[in-house]
């Protein structure tokens, strides 16, 4: 963003979140993110992306070393076979 440009924001609604999950999320937000929802949401998103990269790197290292972990290999194969679709917390 160049100097002088307005800071554009985006609002959105979330619905259907189970109350128990909301209370845990909100508590973490208050305790660790100054009760700033967007900051926690963004941080959770970044952590999830980083976690996926981390797991991929670990699996690649196992393959490099020819280490067989049947449970993980089976889970990865099963996940690859599943049809990928967006799911909600209620599903």
Number of domains in the chain: 1
7 part of a folded domain: no
Q: By residue range, what is the domain housing residue 25?
A: 19-81
| 3 belongs to a structural domain | no
> Is residue 90 a part of any domain in this protein?
no
Q: Is 12 within a domain?
A: no
Residue 4 lies inside a defined structural domain of this protein: no
Spatial separation of the C-alpha atoms in residues 57 and 60, rounded to whole Å: 5
Residue 29 lies in a domain: yes
pLDDT in tens, 34-82: 999 999 999 999 999 999 999 889 888 877 777 666 666 666 666 655 6
**pLDDT tens for each residue of 14-39:** 889 999 999 999 999 999 999 999 99
Q: Kindly tell me if the per-residue pLDDT of 85 is higher than 80.
A: no
Task: Measure the CA–CA gap between 47 and 24, rounded to whole angstroms.
Answer: 17
pLDDT for the residue numbered 62: 79
88 found inside a domain: no
């Amino acid at each position: 963003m160049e100097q002088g440009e307005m800071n554009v924001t985006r609002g959105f609604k979330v619905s259907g979140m189970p109350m128990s999950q909301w209370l845990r999320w909100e508590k973490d937000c208050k305790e660790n993110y100054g009760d700033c929802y967007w900051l926690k949401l963004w941080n959770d998103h970044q952590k999830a992306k980083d976690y996926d990269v981390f797991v991929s790197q670990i699996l690649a290292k196992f393959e490099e070393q020819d280490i067989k972990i049947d449970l993980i290999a089976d889970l990865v194969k099963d996940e690859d076979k599943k049809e990928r679709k967006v799911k909600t917390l209620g599903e």
